[in-house]
């Protein structure tokens, strides 16, 4: 145990759990740092990565799914997300009318739009977080993310979240049903980029486990990440874990927030 962590441990032992009061509400709108679409047909191998459209397709065994990654580093550690809304600009429709679409949060953020493919991207562990009725008119399509299903606390620690869009035909019960379903959406290179709008209560830096209290549990969590050099302890978001992060956490911890 290094000297800094030892000193913080002494503080943690003496600190009585401090309840966090109501924080100020903020709203932030993000555009993707990466976006692409996955295609099990292999067509994405020859696709330009900076295409202005994201294709959503389903017909028998052929599937295409938009994939979007957002940088969450602007949201402070310990923030409580109150609402989240994903918006895609619908640019083209063919047979997609009346068919529901769904959004899935996927745990794999280790991808870039220049190289991701259906085979390279691990889609396991995806969790359904929103559904939207079939599209009939061009324009913005808004999915309200269900926060009881989106485990955002881990994504805030990782500073990133990936969402995947797929067909969700509730009548058929599966993604493709023999009906030709195709939508195109504007990508971040297109005229109307996707957005993720998040409403949150300004976070408490020292409430590392997001339980609305500052106590030894938060110290243990931070200390384990700090000693391992894990970027989850990168409080100042400079891509390094060092004394600056320790000082920020220690100051907030001693102040009870």
User: What confidence tens digit (pLDDT) does each residue in 47-70 have?
Assistant: 667 789 999 998 888 899 999 999
DSSP state of 233: G
Whether residues 44 and 160 share a domain: the answer is: yes
Whether 103 and 196 share a structural domain: yes
Residue 189 domain flag = yes
Residue 54 falls within a domain, yes or no?
A: yes
What is the pLDDT confidence band of residue 210, given thresholds at 50, 70 and 90? low
Distance CA 61, CA 48 (A): 23
Same domain as 73, residue 167: yes
Residue 7 lies in a domain: no
Number of domains into which the chain is organized: 2
Q: Which domain-ending residue is among 186, 201, 216? A: 201
The DSSP result for 37-91, as a single string, is EEETTSGGGGS-TT-SEEEEEEETTEEEEEEEEEE-TTSPTT-EEEEEEEEEEEE
140-154 pLDDT, tens digit each: 999 999 999 998 988
Determine the distance from the C-alpha atom of residue 101 to the mean position of all C-alpha atoms in its chain, rounded to a whole number.
18
Name the DSSP class of 95.
B
Assign 3-state DSSP to the chain and report helix, strand, coil percentages, each to 5: 20, 35, 45
Regarding whether 107 and 177 lie in a shared domain, the answer is yes
Task: Give the pLDDT band of residue 186 (cuts 50, 70, 90).
Answer: very high
The Cα-based distances of 98 to 71, 89, 101, 167, 177 in angstroms read 32, 17, 10, 11, 13
Is the residue at 6 inside a domain? no
| 118 plus 230 within the same structural domain | no
Query: Where in the sequence is the domain holding 240, given as residue range(s)?
Result: 205-257
In angstroms, the CA 251 to CA 257 distance is 8
Read off the pLDDT of each residue in 24-39 and give the average, rounded to a whole number.
92
Is residue 11 in a domain? no
The answer to whether residues 130 and 227 belong to one domain is: no
Whether 160 shows a pLDDT value over 50: the answer reads: yes
Average pLDDT over the chain, rounded to whole?
84
Residue 15 belongs to some domain of the structure: no
Contact between residue 175 and residue 167 where contact means Cβ atoms under 8 Å apart? yes
Residue 219 and residue 104 share a domain: no
Judged against a pLDDT cut of 50, whether residue 10 lies above it is answered with no
Which of 167, 184, 201 is the endpoint of a domain? 201
221 and 144 in a common domain: no
Q: Does residue 146 contact residue 129 with C-beta atoms inside 8 Å?
A: yes
Is 5 part of any domain?
A: no
The string of pLDDT tens digits covering residues 212-240 is 788 888 888 888 888 888 877 887 767 78
- Domain-terminating residue out of 163, 181, 201: 201
The gap between the terminal CA atoms of the chain, to the nearest Å, is 24
55 and 145 together in one domain: yes
Q: Mark whether 45 and 150 lie in a shared domain.
A: yes
Asked if residue 235 and residue 135 are part of one domain, the reply reads: no
**Buried/exposed 124-138: b ≥16 CB within 10 Å, e otherwise:** eebeebbebebbeee
Residues 168 and 237 in one domain: no
Locus of tokens 């202005």: 52
pTM (2 d.p.): 0.74
Q: What is the CATH number of the domain that holds 32?
A: 2.60.120
């Amino acid at each position: 145990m290094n000297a800094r962590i030892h000193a913080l441990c002494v503080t943690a032992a003496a600190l009585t759990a401090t309840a966090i009061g109501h924080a100020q509400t903020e709203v932030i709108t993000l555009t993707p740092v990466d976006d692409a679409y996955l295609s099990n047909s292999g067509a994405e191998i020859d696709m330009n990565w900076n295409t202005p459209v994201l294709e959503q397709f389903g017909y028998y065994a052929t599937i295409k799914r938009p994939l979007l990654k957002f940088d969450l580093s602007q949201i402070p550690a310990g923030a409580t997300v109150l609402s989240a809304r994903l918006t895609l600009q619908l640019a083209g429709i063919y047979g997609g009318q009346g068919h529901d679409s769904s959004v899935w949060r996927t745990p794999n953020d280790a991808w870039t739009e220049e190289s991701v493919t259906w085979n390279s991207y691990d889609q396991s562990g995806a969790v359904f977080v929103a559904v939207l009725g079939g599209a009939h008119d061009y324009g913005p399509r808004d999915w309200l993310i269900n926060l009881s299903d989106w485990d955002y606390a881990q994504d805030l620690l990782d500073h990133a979240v990936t969402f995947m869009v797929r067909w969700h035909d509730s009548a058929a019960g599966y993604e493709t049903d023999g009906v030709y379903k195709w939508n195109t959406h504007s990508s971040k290179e297109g005229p109307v980029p996707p957005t993720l709008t998040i409403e949150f209560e300004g976070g408490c830096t020292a409430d590392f486990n997001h339980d609305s209290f500052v106590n030894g549990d938060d110290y243990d969590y931070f200390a384990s990440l700090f000693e391992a050099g894990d970027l989850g302890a990168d409080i100042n978001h400079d891509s390094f874990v060092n004394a600056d992060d320790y000082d920020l956490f220690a100051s907030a911890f001693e102040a009870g927030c």
